[in-house]
Amino acid sequence: MKTLICKLAPVFLAMGSVAQASEEKLTTDAPVLWDIPIPFWPGHSLPVTNSMLMLLLAVIIITVVLRLATRKMERIPHGLQNLVEWVFETLYNFVEGLTGKYIARKYFWYFATVFILIFVSNIIGLIPGVGEITYQGKPLLRGVNADMNTTVFLGFFYAILWFIWVMKEQGPWHFITHTFGPKGGLTGALKYALLPIFFFVGVIEIVSICIRPVALAARLFGNIFAGETVLEVMTNTGALGFLTTLPFMALELLVAFVQALVFLMLTAVFLKTQIGSEEDEEEGNKPRNPLPRS
């Protein structure tokens, strides 16, 4: 089986290159395929783009794989169950190493979900036929994360979850005092003399928190969109242009994994730096005095 996959890999990359070449021109806006009327709201409808259709396909693939892997659970796993358990165990150990036991145990469900969704979405965007099949003159499918609507949603959805988690773990007053208040255990007159500086640092921290979802969205979109654009340009360089894209297709497979991993790492670190502590790492319990770090 492994030998067969190695033999078919160049064919897959070549076919993927041809499929990318047949796509007209990748634009930043995803074309709308059709509109779905919204019940009880006359005159309004939900536009369905080709990237939304691709995202639905990614969700279906993930759901089917997980259902097949877990329909007959065995104490000693093998086959697909073994693969899925290995993936989740590896992800859990990775997240635990980044955030500590408490955060990993409580919020791993989010980090695993977002990593797998982004990775699968990136991979199926390279499947031959994406961008080639058209519907009313428009590409029926499009790379999910080559649409900034998707990445912006992922970034701001995480920002909302981050705010809810921080308020739940720390509370509003604790968050405010440790963002704008004195740090380092200062006491006496020096504590009050440095209050303006600490307040200014707190303002910078708030600005940084507000920028995070934008940075997450732009980084993911920029890398995926740039990769697909390069494939399109290289493929149109000549009659055998698809051959020149083979190295870039292989690179895109790596980028698909790296960008999903980077998104997971950044979101995990953002949460860790806000509510993590040494007690979390050593004992696996809820931090007794979580302090935000810049």
Note the pLDDT of residue 19.
41
Q: What percent of the chain has pLDDT over 70?
A: 77
Question: What's this model's pTM, rounded to 2 decimal places?
Answer: 0.81
Note the pLDDT of residue 13.
41
Closest alpha carbon to 115 in 142, 74, 71, 145: 145
Note the pLDDT of residue 214.
94
- Identify the top-confidence range among 47-51, 71-75, 77-81, 269-273: 269-273
φ and ψ at residue 111, rounded to 5 degrees: -65, -40
- Count H helices and E strands in the chain, helices first: 11, 4
- Mean pLDDT (the chain) is 80
Per DSSP, the three-state class of 106 is helix
Note the pLDDT of residue 9.
43
Residues contacting 129, CB < 8 A, separation 6+: 19, 141
Instruction: DSSP letter for 34, please.
Output: E
